[in-house]
Amino acid sequence: MSEFIALCAAFTAIAAMSIDIMLPALPAIGKSFGVLDPNRAQLVVVGFSIGFAVAQLFFGPLSDRFGRKPILSLGLGLYIAGTVGSLLVREFTLFLAMRLLQGIGAAALRVVIMAVVRDCFAGPGMARVLTFVFTTFMLVPIIAPSVGQAIELVAGWRGIFVLLGLTSALMALWMGLRLRETLAESDRRPLSLSHLAGAFVEICTNRVAAGYTLASMLTTIGLFSYIVSVQQVYGELYGLGTWFPVAFGASALGIAATALYSARLSRKTGMRTVTHIALVVFAAAGLLLSLTALFAQPPFVLTFACLSLCMMAFGVLQGNIGAIAMEPLGHLAGIASSLFGVVTTTVGVIAGGLVGQSYNGTVLPLALAFGLSGLGAVLIVLWTEKGRLFVH
């Protein structure tokens, strides 16, 4: 069990590592390619995220048809190709294309691993496994920015891609030797438009699946807004400079600790109670920071506390809200995982990118992203649960 969780966490963490390790190096990457506008350097993150978001639509149905391991292998191959390409290109547009390819490969890993977990577990068991997986996923931001900054200082930003390439190659070996196929031949589904359309209709008309997917989509807007904007907010607005990885990692440590504790708490109080509490905290912290920022620049302590609370709540939500949304869809695990990922991530990336481009030297755009998306998520869950919150 421990190795299974570790392997799933490693595949899930590839996307986080590919984003977070870049954050301290964004100014150097922009300078290397002659990009003078700091907001345009955000495209290094956005390009990867777009590929990661949109491509999830395809890999779930493919894994339902051909099995989990072949699609995981395909994803790793695309990711490695994008990583090598990022090392070799000399134009910013081509570099963004290689980041897009990296994101497409990472999308396969994220979607298929969700389906693998659903193949093996259901209900609270699935929630616990996903929470442990996403706890490990949340540990990545603790060290990734510091690692990225250290590599950039010693070997330049291209050294980061050398590390990513070696890591993904080792993971391919680990998967090939230790992960069994979890989808039986008898459970594989055909690739047909009628089947896909029927599955889509079933998912969209399931109140629980649709409601919690929309709530997850809104909270993911906060996540990507944070990822895109936090380097400028902490590094420039509050002048942290090289201390940025420390602040970023401190928040991530709280995220991991809270997510890990929520796995234990959900066994006692239920997934829904934990999820609803986390949603309220997410919305309240974001709204508090928004109201403060409307009148003056909040002190760093308040900004750090509110953003950390939002991200800690997101760490709790990540495993639980996905498990609730996927619970009624075990017979459609691959397609459901794809649609869940596409809806949540695509909207999150686009909206987060717009928030990042709206950065104006204040924390207000980022604060509003958390506050308004959190409030919307609470209202959607309230509708989904027919007015009942905090119930087992």
The whole-number pLDDT of residue 19 equals 86
* pLDDT more than 70, % of the chain: 91
Q: CATH number of the domain that 26 lies in?
A: 1.20.1250.20
Residue range 365-391: average pLDDT? 90
Quick check: 345 pLDDT over 70? yes
C-alpha to C-alpha distances, 133 to 6, 117, 130, 374, nearest whole angstrom: 7, 10, 5, 23
Contact 203, 339 (CB under 8 A): yes
Tell me, what amino acid is at 289?
L
Nearest to 212 by CA among 381, 392, 9, 59: 381
pLDDT digits (tens, 9 = 90+) for 88-131: 999 999 999 999 999 999 999 988 888 888 788 876 677 677 76
391 falls within a domain: no
**274 pLDDT tier (thresholds 50, 70, 90):** confident
Q: Mapping DSSP to helix (H, G, I), strand (E, B) and coil, where does residue 180 land?
A: coil
DSSP 98-158: HHHHHHHHHHHHHHHHHHHHHHH--HHHHHHHHHHHHHHHHHHHHHHHHHHHHHHHHH-TH
Quick check: 336 pLDDT over 80? no
392 falls within a domain: no
126 falls within a domain: yes
390 falls within a domain: no
185 falls within a domain: no
117 falls within a domain: yes
Output the six-digit token pair for 80: 């490695």
186 falls within a domain: no
pTM of the model: 0.72
Average pLDDT, the chain: 85
Dihedral sign, CA of 331, 335, 336, 337?
positive
**Number of separate domains in the chain:** 1
389 falls within a domain: no
Range of the domain at 42: 2-179+191-384
Output the CA torsion 312→314→316→318 (10° steps).
-150
**334 pLDDT tier (thresholds 50, 70, 90):** low
Give dist(CA 165, CA 198) in Å, integer. 39
